[in-house]
Structure 1
Amino acid sequence: MIKKLVLAVAALLASTGIAFAQVDVNKADAAALDGIKGVGPSMSKMILDERAKGEFKDWADFQGRIKGVKGKKAMKLSEAGLVVNGKPMEASAAKPAKAVKAEKASAKADAKAKPAEQKAAM
């Protein structure tokens, strides 16, 4: 009975497409990349073309070199089993573009405020 249950669960998981194996962008061929949910033939080609120029160092390098892969998309690919140099993407690395822009704007405002504060202190 237990064997049948284990086999049924294994069959169910296999049919749902849950990825157990990780696929490294620096080692995988086109077929392995196509097996990742969210990666199609055109993205596989783009990854292989960019990898021919040099291996991807990390997720930031991957996102910078592969068109259309930014925070949310990169996180989804990582959750589907894609890794860069054996490492999945960390949730903190997937900041939305708006959050990054807000941080930059805040830093600029702080930089402008400091000279004004220094003059007032004199």
Structure 2
Amino acid sequence: MNLALSTTLETSFEDAVARTRAALQEQGFGVLTEIDMQATLKAKLDTDMERYLILGACNPPLAHRAVQVDRQIGLLLPCNVVVRDNPAEEGTVLVEAMNPQLLVQVTGEPALAAIADDAGRRLQAAIDALTADA
């Protein structure tokens, strides 16, 4: 199983972030949290790294269904989506969304499978929309 659903974009970092937010919104996900890893590591450890933004995306109906199955599932929510500069290829940005099937694999709870399938379809559609807009 792949850890992430991902794509590579030939665009600016700012454009990739804006397009990712819009694509997530089209699929019913809101961004609840945002972690700027580059700024955080610079401030806390005085370490430099490429631009790396973690978006905590949540689809409330899917989250509600998952919590109804397993109250501890909140430990694995929201679905993280990473937008990061690709250090291997200048001028490209990687967008990676957590594969929701990990929720099923980590918990061993088969009742989460349909929810993970729905979330996976929506996240993959968001990822696909990014390349369709290119």
**Which protein has the larger Cα radius of gyration, Structure 1 or Structure 2?**
1
TM-score for the superposition, normalised by structure 2 = 0.19
Larger relative contact order, structure 1 or 2 (CA cutoff 8 Å, min sep 6): 2
TM-score for the superposition, normalised by structure 1 = 0.20
The structure that is strand-richer by fraction is: 2
The structure that is helix-richer by fraction is: 1
